[in-house]
Amino acid sequence: MAAGRGSHVDVGWRTRVACLLDALGWIGAEMGMRVVFLDFDGVLHPAGVPAGSALPFEWISELAHLLAEHPHVGVVVHSSWRSVFSPDELREFLRPLGWRPLATVGDGAKAIAIQNYLREHPEIEDFIILDDDAQEFPAKLGAHLVACASITGVSEQRVKHSIVVWLDGPGKVQ
């Protein structure tokens, strides 16, 4: 079922129950958790553009649409915004992504913080990294990286396709 802007997608009671159980940690170990490591600038809105020329989180509805049928997929923020805003504020910014597990990586450079997070959370079986700066990530993480163009982020068709391919089956991204 396709969803337009402002429409509601009913993903079914089984999916909602699975998401609730996953959030409570009851099925994560059995099924293996999948997460999206998410940057904001250059992914959810343009980066490097003049102030006032773009809306914050202007593409979040596009990511929300892609994730709508996958409420069990968690979101882990690795954006520099994690150092400025509280977890509650980040959750509010990401409210359009729906009710899903949400966390942040620790302090430090993005790649190191993600690697530390993965080490601390062995229940994560598969992940994708959405970021606009591929140079920040070593080859080990590069197989999981979807590099976004800073001015088009997740609105670009190539990026959407890579996310859908990952969502539809675990493994490396295209």
Domains of the chain by start residue, with CATH: 32-168 (3.40.50.1000)
Instruction: Write down the pLDDT at residue 35.
Output: 97
Q: Which of 168, 58, 33, 40 is nearest to 104 (CA)?
A: 40
Per-residue pLDDT at 132: 96
Positive or negative torsion for Cα 17, 20, 25, 28: positive
Order of strands across the sheet that contains 102-104: 102-104, 74-77, 33-38, 124-131, 145-147
- pLDDT at residue 118, rounded to an integer: 96
Q: Would you say the C-alpha torsion 115, 167, 34, 150 has a positive or negative sign?
A: positive
Cβ pair 39, 79 in contact under 8 A: yes
**Residue 125's pLDDT is what?**
93
Residue 117 to residue 98: CA distance in whole angstroms = 22
Burial class for 135, CB neighbours closer than 10 Å (0-12, 13-18, 19+): exposed
Q: What tens-digit pLDDT sequence spans the chain (174 residues)?
A: 333 333 333 334 444 444 444 444 433 444 579 999 999 999 999 998 887 788 899 999 999 999 999 999 999 999 999 999 999 999 999 999 998 889 999 999 999 999 999 999 999 999 999 999 999 998 889 899 999 999 999 999 999 999 999 999 865 455
Which amino acid, 114?
A: I
CB neighbours of 101 closer than 8 A, spacing ≥ 6? 22, 23, 33, 35, 74, 75
Give the predicted TM-score (pTM) of the model. Answer: 0.80
pLDDT of residue 27: 37
